[in-house]
Amino acid sequence: MNKSRRRYLISFVIGSALLTLLYFSIMNSIKNPEISNLPYYTFRSLLRISIAYFLSLAIGLTFGIGSAVNKKISAIITPTFDILQSIPILGYFPAVIVIILGIIPGIIGLEMASIFLLFTSMTWAIFFGVYDSARSIPINILDAAKSFGIKGFQFIRHVMIPAIMPAIISGSFLAWCDGWFFMIAAEYITYAGEVRSLPGLGSFLAKSAYVYNDVNLSATILILITSIVLFINYLIWHRLTDKVSGYAHMIKLGFFGLPHNEKHNKKRLTIQFKFRHRVVSKSKTRAYTTHQRLISIIIVAVIFFSVIFYIMKKIPTIDIVEKNILVPEISKLPVYAFFTLSRLSIAYIIALGIAIFMGVLAAEKKKFAMVFYPLYDIGQAVPILALFPILSVYVSHFVGGRLGLEVTAITMLVLDMIWYMFLNIVVAVKSIPEETREVSKIFGFKGIKRIKHIILPAIMPAIVTGSILAWGTGWNTVIFAEYMPHGNEVISIPGLGSFLSKEGYEEGNTILLIFILFVISSIVILMEKFIWKKLLAKTEKYEIEA
């Protein structure tokens, strides 16, 4: 048995032992009528998330490879997926529940809706990863394959699959983390004014906060979930990363990613960064023809039209649409948009400041890296949405009501956004070429001057990519965090998210819901077009190959 396998085996045994111990002590020390179900809940959540994962993998692989090898498929699929990707998942969840429960009522329908939500949260990362990497197989390898007669099934087996393997693994890792992120939203659902929950860790966490008013139990479950995520990250994804490390510059890491070797850790971060960066910057700068755009918009419009048709049981005429959209609250829409955007912006600026500070320190000073890297690993594994019930209760001890919720929402957004930017910044600082550093030394750049002229320009592209990712995840978090079902009452703060949740979950006004979604997606796409794409193009010239 080689050394790396032995280390994995040891950490598997120790990790399992620690988890068992954690379960044992939680189940024995906490008094709650449902506590004995904890292993069963874990099993259900794992099962749910695994089914969603394998579905996303199958769809992502099929369409990803299909689009990469066939231009006709790609012309339709890629721009359509790009639009769908820019719609916040939690925004269309109410509509999904209505439809699926309409077809299959009861617990099975609910289970399917929840799997569907998890599936949509996972599949984009895998699809775009597979698509981009399948298209970027080096031309010399393609030539060699062709010239030596490697084609058809053999080509897929010997060239395509190994070439996209690193992307499948990185994409799967991200998808898996995203799945846990959305778990609480997928298991604890308010629908038509009442709460429906599926057995699982996420719903148990929410119930302990909202029903049992036992926030300490919620916090304990959150710690448990985080430990499980870390354990699986290490055992499965990092192990698989290891397997392709021979050819893909991927490298192993210690438990929790603690730097047993500074160089290795940097490389691992680089891989995660590279993957995300490639997926983001490629999809944001992907050029579509007007023709392709039009087709994709038509496809998306048809999807929504059929959704409305299905729910209303009739063709939506202008009258019906008008009646549904022109509720009294609609006049407040601009104000709501303003509030939500302000919330996001405030959180973004705080997160950006902290991320730059932490990122530069971690990359430049080993001492800080020793603290910040593990913090990153854990912070990234915490499913932020699950933090919501806990945080809101803790915050309400100091500030109650709406202001309390406001503070909770912004804190969650900061915690959610920060790690995307942190990772990108660390890698960018690390990949400033030695030569540039030497230039700054020889010509005497120090302190502020060094940061202004060397560090900041070097990390600019990374900040832009990190920001795109941060805003993307931020939209979902803000939709979730503006609206809190607490027992039988609801606390909400004005914004697009609470408006959407209210119309979707309480009123069941699907047309209005889709209209709000359309507004949100338009904001996302406009920001992309007028802010991120411009910034990406501007910073591209100082891009340093990571």
Partner 1 sequence: MALLEVKNIIKNFINTKKILVLDNVSFDIDKNEFLAIVGPSGCGKSTLLRIIASLETPDSGVVLFHDKPLLATTPEITMVFQQFGLLPWKTVLENIELPLEMHGFKSKERREIATRFLKDVGLEDFKDICPHGLSGGMKQRVGIARALALEPEIMLMDEPFSSLDALTAETLRKEVLNIWTDKSNVTDNIIMVTHSIEEAVFMADRILVLSMRPSKILSDIKINIPRPREKYQRDRKLFDYVDEIKNLIIKDIQTSDHQNNLCH
DSSP symbol at 88? -
**Does 141 interact with partner 1 (rule: CB under 8 A)?**
yes
| Nearer to partner 1 among residue 278 and residue 343 (C-beta) | 278
Is 162 a residue that touches partner 1 (CB under 8 A)? yes
Q: What's the min distance (Å) between Cβ of 154 and partner 1?
A: 6
Size of the site for partner 1 (CB under 8 A): 21
Q: Is 294 in the site for partner 1 (CB under 8 A)?
A: no
Q: Which listed residue (149, 328, 444, 447) binds partner 1 by CB under 8 A? A: 149
| The one among 16, 154, 216, 306 contacting partner 1 by CB under 8 A | 154
Q: From 77-85, 112-120, 145-153, 372-380, give the range in contact with partner 1 by CB under 8 A.
A: 145-153
Nearer to partner 1, 172 or 510 (CB): 172
Give the residue with the Cβ less far from partner 1, 105 or 162.
Answer: 162
Cross-strand pairs, 491:
484
Binding segment for partner 1 (CB under 8 A), chosen from 78-86, 116-124, 153-161, 285-293, is: 153-161
Q: What is the CA radius of gyration of the chain?
A: 24
CA-to-CA distance for 388 and 478, rounded, in angstroms?
11
C-beta closer to partner 1: residue 264 or 450: 264
Residue nearer to partner 1 on the CB measure, 2 or 140: 140
Outline where 136-210 has alpha helix (H): 139-147, 152-155, 161-187, 201-210
Per-residue DSSP letters for 192-232? TTEEEE-SSHHHHHHHHHHTS--HHHHHHHHHHHHHHHHHH
- Does 534 sit near partner 1 (CB under 8 A)? no
CB-CB neighbours of 8 under 10 Å: 18
Measured from the CB of residue 157, what is the shortest distance to partner 1 in angstroms?
10
Only one of the segments 44-52, 211-219, 240-248, 443-451 lies at the binding site for partner 1 (rule: CB under 8 A); that segment is: 240-248
Least distance (Å) from partner 1 to the CB of residue 359?
Answer: 30
Q: DSSP letter string over 468-530?
A: HHHHHHHHHHHHHHTEEEETTEEEE-SSHHHHHHIIIIII--HHHHHHHHHHHHHHHHHHIII
Closer by beta carbon to partner 1, 37 or else 245: 245
148 binds partner 1 (CB under 8 A): yes
Residue pointed to by tokens 């320190």: 361
Asked whether position 522 contacts partner 1 by CB under 8 A, the answer is: no
Given 3-state DSSP classes, what are the helix, strand and coil percentages for the chain, each rounded to the nearest 5?
85, 5, 15
246 lines the binding site for partner 1 (CB under 8 A):
yes
248 lies in the binding site for partner 1 (CB under 8 A): yes
Of 352, 370, 377, 348, the C-alpha closest to 272 is: 377
CA distance 422 to 355: 5
| Residue 321 structure tokens | 């649409």
Range in contact with partner 1 (rule: CB under 8 A) among 14-22, 55-63, 88-96, 148-156:
148-156
Q: How far is the CB of 75 from partner 1 (least distance, A)?
A: 19
Q: How far is the CB of 323 from partner 1 (least distance, A)?
A: 52
Q: Cβ of 115: how many Cβ atoms within 10 Å?
A: 21
Q: Output the smallest distance, CB 517 to partner 1, in A.
A: 40
In the chain, what is the greatest distance between 2 CA atoms, to the nearest angstrom? 74
Number of residues written out for the chain: 546
Distance, CA of 142 to CA of 161 (rounded, Å) = 13
Which of the ranges 21-29, 143-151, 314-322, 407-415 carries the binding residues for partner 1, by CB under 8 A?
A: 143-151
CB nearer partner 1, residue 171 or residue 200: 171
User: 154 or 342, CB closer to partner 1?
Assistant: 154
If binding is defined by CB under 8 A, does position 138 make contact with partner 1? yes
Residues 41/204, Cβ–Cβ less than 8 Å: yes
Instruction: Decide: is 146 part of the binding site for partner 1 (CB under 8 A).
Output: yes
Nearer to partner 1 by Cβ, of 143 and 194: the residue is: 143
- Quick one: which of 81, 28, 41 has its CA closest to 292? 81
Answer yes or no whether residue 345 interacts with partner 1 by CB under 8 A: no
Choosing from 22, 30, 46, 150, the residue that interacts with partner 1 (CB under 8 A) is 150
| Site for partner 1, residues 406 to 435, rule: CB under 8 A | none
Q: Does 289 bind partner 1 (CB under 8 A)?
A: no
Distance separating alpha carbons of residues 130 and 126, to the nearest angstrom: 6
| Residue 105 binds partner 1, judged by CB under 8 A | no
Distance CA 172, CA 382 (A): 17
Q: Which of 13, 21, 144, 297 binds partner 1 (CB under 8 A)?
A: 144
Q: Does 247 bind partner 1 (CB under 8 A)?
A: yes
If binding is defined by CB under 8 A, does position 140 make contact with partner 1?
yes
CB 520 within 8 A of CB 496: yes
Nearest-angstrom CA–CA distance, 510 and 503 = 8
Parallel/antiparallel/unpaired status of strands 188-191 and 194-197: antiparallel
Summarize as ranges the residues that interact with partner 1 (CB under 8 A): 138, 140-141, 143-150, 154, 158-159, 162-163, 165, 244, 246-248
